[in-house]
Structure 1
């Protein structure tokens, strides 16, 4: 939803608004969004008429002028225009989590339980260890290539990686993924 340029602006406080054209709101007031730059807090989300956007609001969204912002909106998306208040809420807690390479016995047991739950709830059976090993052995390989090796649609493959990322076991790269130090620690620790 937010480019790296915009994320940098949000983190340093220059960008406090975003405008999007959506058929229905895709962000909720009070929600939070984890991004590569950290956690972004979502404030008010309001439908607005494009012609009411001011130059000052456009600057708060990272544009030089309201006309430039409106031109961008005309090129992206369909539906109504929404103004979204955004702000930096701090670092992504998964970053610190994924850096913890050494696992205590209780942390290991907790991960074992969570991964077992994912495996047993999957219609295809156990998959989490196989996925962790695949990412360990193929860092930086495109998701489409890895998905093909698993006979998985790319979207479902990415969803699987995301589930492991939520536990701090993987991290996204510019292209592909890799195991985090925590993920390597998990695979390397005795079961």
Structure 2
């Protein structure tokens, strides 16, 4: 479930607590969580409903001025779902990627994690080096050198993000403080 940047800001401030999505099948479930730039969202409930049954209060809680404005934002196909959520806390990856003090054991653990990601073909060190060269490096700029499709590379870079090594920017990626510490420490120990 993706949100536009302006909506994420309002979610982070607690102004938006509902979302409406059209899906063939829901991609979230009640009791689950969703990591976003606004923090971790706890999914309180999800229910299928008709657009004409959406109340004015729900329209406002979803961040819209009118049902018509909400309807314009919905994709055309699928069933309409009402998703209630609240911000449950910060994204745990934030603390992880800010940790720039890595001991040799942590560097070795990251090497092992990257080796697992490289099982189907070596790409992690090249990707990290390319991102380290310049903040804002995009997947489109990296695909040729890494010999993979853009969507595949984006998925793979999310794996680096899970390890706290990269951050997504509005356009492209950059190394996190942890990523910089790993790249530096990995060079020193090699």
TM-score, length basis structure 1: 0.91
Residue of structure 1 aligned with 2:179, choices 173, 180, 183? 183
Deviation of the 1:143 alpha carbon: 1.6
Structure 2, unpaired ranges of 5+? none
Distance 1:68 1:132 in 2: 41
Distance 2:109 2:25 in 1: 38
Distance 2:65 2:47 in 1: 22
Residue of structure 1 aligned with 2:157, choices 157, 161, 184? 161
Deviation of the 1:182 alpha carbon: 0.7
Deviation of the 1:86 alpha carbon: 1.6
2:168 alignment counterpart: 172
Aligned pair count? Answer: 186
Deviation of the 1:147 alpha carbon: 1.4
RMSD: 1.5
| 1:102-155 superposed Cα distances (whole Å, 9 cap, x missing partner) | 2012211221221122223x1x2x221111111111321222121123221000
Structure 1, unpaired ranges of 5+? none
Structure 1 contact 118–128 (Cα < 8 Å) conserved = yes
| Residues 1:129 and 2:125 are matched in the alignment | yes
| 1:61-108 superposed Cα distances (whole Å, 9 cap, x missing partner) | 0011234323433xx241110000121111111111111112012211
More off after superposition, 92-101 vs 61-70: 61-70
- Classify the secondary structure of the residue corresponding to 1:82: strand
* Regions of 4+ moved over 6 Å: none
1:114 alignment counterpart: 113
| 1:166-190 superposed Cα distances (whole Å, 9 cap, x missing partner) | 0000011111101111111111113
1:40 alignment counterpart: 41
More off after superposition, 144-153 vs 14-23: 144-153
2:90 alignment counterpart: 91
TM-score, length basis structure 2: 0.91
Cα pair distance change 1:142/1:130, threshold 3 Å: closer
Distance 1:71 1:96 in 2: 37
Structure 1 contact 22–80 (Cα < 8 Å) conserved = yes
